[in-house]
A and B are shown apart, each in its own frame.
Chain A
């Protein structure tokens, strides 16, 4: 009986409480449910600290958690746009870049952005000597001229420098917050900087979102920065859930558990095309899948022989990979096909088993040889490395090369790759710099060639080295094209790499998700997404 009597009283209390909450809500100007978007994503990153992070997942997250001085348009790299720097000038000799910072940008804790923050961030990037630190190589010095002016001096004329600065590694962090949490930009930062743990869990930037937490291999959460200096993004909260398997991503998307799936396979996307609840984006991708053949005979064994490397390039069934990954193309070199002057499918290598066998015989392996292929075991952007590796194995078997497959956990494999200890490996590469100079990484003197494939300048024709030096500095577009064409010809014959496929980007999302734009640098820009009401 008491219960019955109590019920109306309870109800009216709830009503009053509800009304109060409503009023308080109105007082703050809006009564709106929190807008949340959930992404299914195959995570690949070891950090979110912009000075350490150098992986696709961190690129996407740091794109919105931080800002860089300059950036690209939303969908391509056709021009350089202002971001934290509202304007800049370049000295006549091309050596000094002077940036004028905007005066309304504040960090998420309310601190105003200053030139010192830029100096601190870039010096820290350089001195922690982490994965992305090499991007600071062209920088000779960074100086804060006043509160809002930064001058960067480069070591030589570098037409690609502004495009390089658009990389999220050049994110501007709050110097005092990072400093208070163990960060330093001193020269011994590699040993003394301890801010990574802090920056892996929260962000100290000026971005549209704030990193709220990261549980590796599980989830990453971003919340909207209410004081963002730029345009407010639509979603209050972004949850990036690690779902390594494409099949699971598909089920989660179709059932509405996630709003967007970044790693569906091309087959799955094709199958989803008739589904009215699902929107699809299909476009040329940024990932060049390639084989690495270490030039150090002690590491690479038979594939260290340039003739063998060339034979391998002739042995791959390029058409087969295109068939395997709907919408993919065959690249003509390790230069990303989206860059001006890159060799595309028309200029690409053609399979020629006869020639491959001849080259092998010439190299002293008429009956082929046995070799282990190392690769990270994962599905990336819908492409299974395991599937490709098995096809590589089958392709090379046709010219007598017996390949043993050795998949590894991504992080473990990455370490072997980065230390140049992999003799024969399969990796994929997305351009760090949206400029043809990115390709120089894969040529003698470049980082990937030198450190990962141990293909150094030793024994390389002097004229080639001169061409590479010119490629770095040439400003005339036509002359540049010509230089890069010659370098790509050189690579097709002599390279320590065998690029074989650039899969398409395929993203599927719930039909009400709008604003999906894919960018070749950071992939998905989370701040542009919204939900149709």
Chain B
């Protein structure tokens, strides 16, 4: 898992050509991007690509290993695993995205206010953030989902509630750092008013890092969502969600195709996000450069 401390906090200042050269030294970023784009496309065109309906049952064809008709085999109700894996992306990817997007908006707002206003506000906001950090993410998310009822929306909501603090802390740090920068001092001494400062200088400076952090965090959000789903606290049982599909594996670990393929789907996607994260970190962090 990536912590705010480990993400690039400085904005990217290198020129495009340099960046491209750097990118060439980090093929994993390209690979990661390619995998992610592939998954997005697979999910987007799942209705066209999938050979079967994801919910279509065929009892006679149940528990078939991968073969001619069913490339990745069938599950306990004779549903086509390939089709379900393809459709699964349509649930897991948007869920991960939603968690991160809402997280960053809420966290960014809270952090920006705390960092900019400072004083008591800052203190309160950070105490609340600390409070949420103290609770174990997964258990708190489990409790909230259980209270609201197992549904995709509620699982996303639970993850939003327990995960916004990372973003708040990151944004707050950036704002406080930016406040001490010379150009802000200069603007202030020229008579710029606070709201103007906030909107014209500080916020844009904090948006880019939050976006970068957020895009790398999608992998983690997907893992957590799949975890909740695996525990039965996400989409309903027949849903072709990846975590859900894997959870059936407990009952069918001899029929490896039922759980291995959705599992590898999650793993490849999360790995791709981490590839990019690693590459970016290397590119942006001068300390680990040659």
* Contact B57–A391 (Cβ < 8 Å): yes
* A320, B78: Cα distance in complex, Å: 11
Which residues on B sit within 8 Å (CB–CB) of A405? 236-238
Q: Count A interface residues, CB 8 Å.
A: 24
The residue of chain A having its C-beta at the shortest distance from the C-beta of B235 within the complex is A405
* A83, B267: Cα distance in complex, Å: 61
* Contact B253–A247 (Cβ < 8 Å): yes
Please pick, from B60, B236, B252, the residue contacting A404 in the complex, using a CB distance under 8 A.
B236
* Contact B62–A324 (Cβ < 8 Å): yes
| Cβ-based interface call for A181 (8 A) | no
Which residues on B sit within 8 Å (CB–CB) of A393? 238
Using an 8 Å CB-CB cutoff, how does the interface string of A237-249 with B read, 1 for contact, 0 for none? 0000000011110
| Cβ-based interface call for B66 (8 A) | no
| Cβ-based interface call for A530 (8 A) | no
Please pick, from B57, B232, B252, B254, the residue contacting A394 in the complex, using a CB distance under 8 A.
B57
Given A247-B251, A377-B232, check contact A267 B238 (CB 8 Å). no
| Cβ-based interface call for A379 (8 A) | yes
CB distance from B54 to the nearest CB of A (A): 12
| Cβ-based interface call for B109 (8 A) | no
| Cβ-based interface call for B150 (8 A) | yes
Using an 8 Å CB-CB cutoff, how does the interface string of B58-87 with A read, 1 for contact, 0 for none? 011011000000000000110000000000
The residue of chain B having its C-beta at the shortest distance from the C-beta of A373 within the complex is B236
The residue of chain B having its C-beta at the shortest distance from the C-beta of A386 within the complex is B237
Which residues on A sit within 8 Å (CB–CB) of B76? 384, 387
| Cβ-based interface call for B134 (8 A) | no
* Contact B59–A390 (Cβ < 8 Å): no
**Chain B residues numbered 206-244 whose CB sits less than 8 Å from any CB in chain A:** 232, 236-238
* Contact B150–A320 (Cβ < 8 Å): no
Which residues on A sit within 8 Å (CB–CB) of B150? 406
Given A387-B77, A390-B237, A405-B238, check contact A247 B250 (CB 8 Å). yes
The residue of chain A having its C-beta at the shortest distance from the C-beta of B254 within the complex is A247
Which residues on B sit within 8 Å (CB–CB) of A397? 55
The residue of chain A having its C-beta at the shortest distance from the C-beta of B253 within the complex is A247
CB distance from B288 to the nearest CB of A (A): 45
* Contact B63–A267 (Cβ < 8 Å): yes
| Cβ-based interface call for A104 (8 A) | no
Which residues on B sit within 8 Å (CB–CB) of A301? none
CB distance from B223 to the nearest CB of A (A): 23
The interface size bin for chain B is 10 to 19
* Contact A320–B251 (Cβ < 8 Å): no
Which residues on B sit within 8 Å (CB–CB) of A245? 250-251
| Cβ-based interface call for A407 (8 A) | yes
**Chain A residues numbered 360-417 whose CB sits less than 8 Å from any CB in chain B:** 377, 379, 384, 386-387, 389-391, 393-394, 397, 404-407
| Cβ-based interface call for A323 (8 A) | yes
* A68, B85: Cα distance in complex, Å: 54
Given A247-B251, A387-B77, A390-B237, check contact A407 B59 (CB 8 Å). no
The residue of chain B having its C-beta at the shortest distance from the C-beta of A251 within the complex is B253
CB distance from A318 to the nearest CB of B (A): 12
Which residues on B sit within 8 Å (CB–CB) of A387? 76-77
Given A320-B59, A377-B232, A387-B77, check contact A407 B237 (CB 8 Å). yes
**Chain A residues numbered 311-328 whose CB sits less than 8 Å from any CB in chain B:** 320, 323-324
Which residues on A sit within 8 Å (CB–CB) of B252? 247
Given A404-B236, A406-B150, check contact A391 B77 (CB 8 Å). yes
* Contact A323–B254 (Cβ < 8 Å): no
Which residues on A sit within 8 Å (CB–CB) of B238? 390, 393-394, 405
Given A267-B63, A405-B236, A405-B238, check contact A390 B250 (CB 8 Å). no
The residue of chain A having its C-beta at the shortest distance from the C-beta of B247 within the complex is A386
The residue of chain B having its C-beta at the shortest distance from the C-beta of A377 within the complex is B232
Given A391-B77, A394-B55, A394-B57, check contact A379 B236 (CB 8 Å). no
Please pick, from A323, A384, A404, the residue contacting B59 in the complex, using a CB distance under 8 A.
A323
* Contact B237–A323 (Cβ < 8 Å): no
**Chain A residues numbered 401-442 whose CB sits less than 8 Å from any CB in chain B:** 404-407
Which residues on A sit within 8 Å (CB–CB) of B236? 404-406
* Contact A390–B77 (Cβ < 8 Å): yes
Which residues on A sit within 8 Å (CB–CB) of B251? 245-247, 379, 384
* A387, B252: Cα distance in complex, Å: 12
Which residues on A sit within 8 Å (CB–CB) of B62? 324
Which residues on A sit within 8 Å (CB–CB) of B253? 247
Given A247-B250, A247-B253, check contact A323 B60 (CB 8 Å). yes
* A379, B76: Cα distance in complex, Å: 13
CB distance from A403 to the nearest CB of B (A): 9
CB distance from A262 to the nearest CB of B (A): 15
* A155, B29: Cα distance in complex, Å: 82
Please pick, from A248, A323, A404, A407, the residue contacting B232 in the complex, using a CB distance under 8 A.
A407
* A390, B58: Cα distance in complex, Å: 12
Which residues on B sit within 8 Å (CB–CB) of A390? 57, 77, 237-238
**Chain B residues numbered 79-100 whose CB sits less than 8 Å from any CB in chain A:** none
The residue of chain A having its C-beta at the shortest distance from the C-beta of B249 within the complex is A247
CB distance from A31 to the nearest CB of B (A): 42
Which residues on A sit within 8 Å (CB–CB) of B60? 323
CB distance from A394 to the nearest CB of B (A): 5
**Chain A residues numbered 158-182 whose CB sits less than 8 Å from any CB in chain B:** none
Which residues on B sit within 8 Å (CB–CB) of A248? 250
* A161, B250: Cα distance in complex, Å: 44
* A297, B253: Cα distance in complex, Å: 43
**Chain A residues numbered 267-317 whose CB sits less than 8 Å from any CB in chain B:** 267
* A523, B60: Cα distance in complex, Å: 30
Which residues on A sit within 8 Å (CB–CB) of B232? 377, 407
The residue of chain B having its C-beta at the shortest distance from the C-beta of A389 within the complex is B237
* A407, B237: Cα distance in complex, Å: 8
Which residues on B sit within 8 Å (CB–CB) of A267? 63
* A407, B239: Cα distance in complex, Å: 13
**Chain A residues numbered 437-492 whose CB sits less than 8 Å from any CB in chain B:** none
Which residues on B sit within 8 Å (CB–CB) of A250? 254
10 contacting pairs across A/B (C-beta < 8 A): A247-B250, A247-B251, A248-B250, A324-B77, A389-B237, A391-B59, A391-B77, A405-B236, A406-B236, A407-B237
Which 3 pairs from chain A and chain B are nearest by CB?
A: A390-B238, A323-B59, A405-B236
Known interface pairs A247-B253, A250-B254; 11 further A-B residue pairs with C-beta atoms within 8 A, sorted by A's residue number = A245-B250, A247-B250, A247-B254, A248-B250, A320-B57, A324-B62, A384-B251, A389-B237, A390-B77, A391-B57, A394-B238
